[in-house]
């Protein structure tokens, strides 16, 4: 049971740390809001709801990035250790980390579009009165 807990912790912990790191670094955006735009690209104002959505999307993509990058090499190593190929464990771990990270970076950045959409009724009330369009746009950030 201890081996199972250690193996779970090896990919849950990096995913959770990446998730909370985004909230820590971009916490000010959630408090102040981010710019939202209409369909013509005109700035409508700052929206805290759009900021929370953007930060959440970014945090989830980072959790997927680091969680997967930690999980796949550990699964490969556990399979190799069962087959008694001890000499292959270290090189396979390092190569698989580099390979999976290289694949996951573009994949995690593309989970959510850079230009996000939020419905008018989901933004702050002061912005709802200013806008006639049903959908507003925001830049999610990295």
Which pLDDT belongs to residue 127?
A: 85
Q: What average pLDDT does the structure give for the chain?
A: 88
Which pLDDT belongs to residue 119?
A: 92
Summarize pLDDT for 25-37 with one digit per residue, the tens: 998 999 999 999 9
- In angstroms, the CA 34 to CA 82 distance is 50
Summarize pLDDT for 54-92 with one digit per residue, the tens: 999 999 999 999 999 988 888 888 888 777 777 778 888
Residue 128, pLDDT above cutoff 90 = no
Residues with Cβ within 8 Å of residue 82, at least 6 apart in sequence:
none
pTM equals 0.84
- In angstroms, the CA 68 to CA 108 distance is 10
Residue 4, pLDDT above cutoff 80 = no
- In angstroms, the CA 92 to CA 79 distance is 11
Which pLDDT belongs to residue 48?
A: 93
């Amino acid at each position: 049971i201890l081996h199972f807990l250690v193996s779970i912790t090896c990919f849950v912990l990096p995913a959770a740390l990446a998730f909370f790191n985004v909230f820590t670094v971009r916490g000010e955006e959630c408090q102040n809001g981010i710019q939202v735009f209409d369909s013509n690209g005109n700035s409508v104002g700052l929206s805290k709801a759009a900021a929370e959505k953007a930060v959440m999307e970014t945090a989830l993509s980072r959790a997927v990035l680091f969680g997967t990058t930690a999980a796949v090499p550990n699964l490969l190593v556990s399979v190799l250790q069962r087959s008694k190929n001890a000499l292959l464990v270290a090189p396979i771990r390092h190569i698989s980390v580099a390979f999976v990270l290289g694949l996951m970076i573009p994949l995690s950045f593309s989970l959510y579009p850079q230009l996000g959409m939020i419905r008018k009724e989901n933004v702050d009330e002061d912005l709802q009165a200013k806008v006639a369009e049903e959908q507003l746009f925001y830049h999610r950030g990295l």
